Amino acid sequence: MLHLDAAATSPVREEALAAAWPFLTASFGNPSSTHGLGEQASAALADARTAVAAVLGCRSSEVVFTSGGTEANNLAIKGIALGKPRGRHLVTSRVEHESVLASADYLARLHGFEVTFVDVDAAGLVSEESLAAALREDTTLVSLATANNEVGTVQDITALVAVAQARGVPFHTDAIQAAGSLDVSMTATGVDAVSLSGHKLGAPKGVGVLAVRSRRPLEPLIHGGGQERGRRSGTENVAFAVAFAVALRLADADRRAEAEHRPPASIGDLPSSPRDVFVADVLSRIPDARLTGHASARLPRHASFVLPGVNGETVLLELERRGVLASAGAACAAGHDEPSHVLLALGIPEDDARTALRFTWGASTTSLDLGGVAETLADVFETVTALSRSSTLH
């Protein structure tokens, strides 16, 4: 099977598993214990925190380990908004992950916040002008993803952060899809808070990180023993924190190495990156297909389409039967009958949104692999279209 659903999850890296294993076995101490076993766990946790901070360009004291990206987003949005609010107004967009939208809804329903959804264009981009127009004197937080999980569009986060900072508004970004593909360090982007998820990077499921600048008060969501400097109570998962640190370091090293060897954006009028070659191949083989998201400002290993006239789930099932694993969009929304809220926010008709396909891959996937997928997809599209026409006639 060829796994082209990397945006949903990734396999655990052997190095991350090896680093975590001692803390799942012999070195099982509680990092809050004062004996030798506990001190060993505490030291490993501190080292993991330092390693994460080095990649994210922040202090180790600003790193909070969580149970995953969803918790990190919840803690960022609710925690900053309720920590020391200068008002009860939040700015986000309608193309964000459900954990961001649900957190905004929570603040609106239970804490009287007003939420402004900043406009996005047909590719999902937020302009500096749109963000500036959405900000108010009582805006307490802006939360916009670095890269969209469904359509791959990458925001100009640095420019958007500058707009918010000029008005003194804290800025949180969900960088879960971007980490490992883009530089998500806080020094590079200027954000006040950034969320990451371990299993998108090669760590186990069940661990994530929120890095938040110490100048931003953070109201905890989980209360108890005061672990994570009072920001997230509960005995720390040392093994998974260690695995996360290793996976993040390796993913960032791979990103930097790949960036050094990446070809120019284009050579004449020809696409040069494996992503762009794959997109061009699919669009040439299936004239009815349409790329979703931005054509160039998108993640380097992400291609998403709508295929009007066919059922997306039927196409996915047939692709799997032929050895290709892809998705219709966000895995956490899989099984729902409603079309993607992201695609609807981009102005894509509901019927077309139901035909969505997303192909996302890891560094080991080759151009040859992608070429084979484009050919297989075209054949599947033709087969499904023919069956659909046949059933309509009968």
| pLDDT number for residue 86 | 86
Q: How far apart are CA 165 and CA 322, in angstroms?
A: 50
Which residues, 6+ apart, have CB-to-CB distance to 284 below 8 Å?
Answer: none
- Identify the CATH homologous superfamily for domain 272-392: Aspartate Aminotransferase, domain 1 (3.90.1150.10)
pLDDT digits (tens, 9 = 90+) for 244-290: 999 999 999 999 998 887 665 544 455 669 999 999 999 999 999 99
58 an active-site residue? no
Q: How far apart are CA 359 and CA 328, in angstroms?
A: 9
Q: Is 373 helix (H, G, I), strand (E, B) or coil?
A: helix
| pLDDT number for residue 264 | 58
Q: What residues does 303 pair with on adjacent strands?
A: 359
What is the per-residue burial (b if ≥16 Cβ within 10 Å, else e) of 41-62?
Answer: bbebbeebbebbbebbbbebeb
pTM of the model: 0.94
Segments making up each domain of the chain, as ranges: 14-255, 272-392
Active-site entry in 24, 222, 280, 332: 332
Torsional class of 323: left (φ above 0), alpha (ψ -120 to 50), beta (otherwise): left
- CA dist list (Å): 81 to 114, 203, 215, 251: 11, 29, 14, 31
| pLDDT number for residue 84 | 85
Q: Which of 183, 182, 179 is nearest to 195 (CA)?
A: 179
Could you tell me which CATH class the domain 14-255 is placed in?
alpha beta
Spell out, as residue ranges, where the chain has pLDDT lower than 50: 266-268, 393
| pLDDT number for residue 233 | 98
pLDDT digits (tens, 9 = 90+) for 76-130: 999 999 998 889 999 999 999 999 999 999 999 999 999 999 999 999 999 999 9
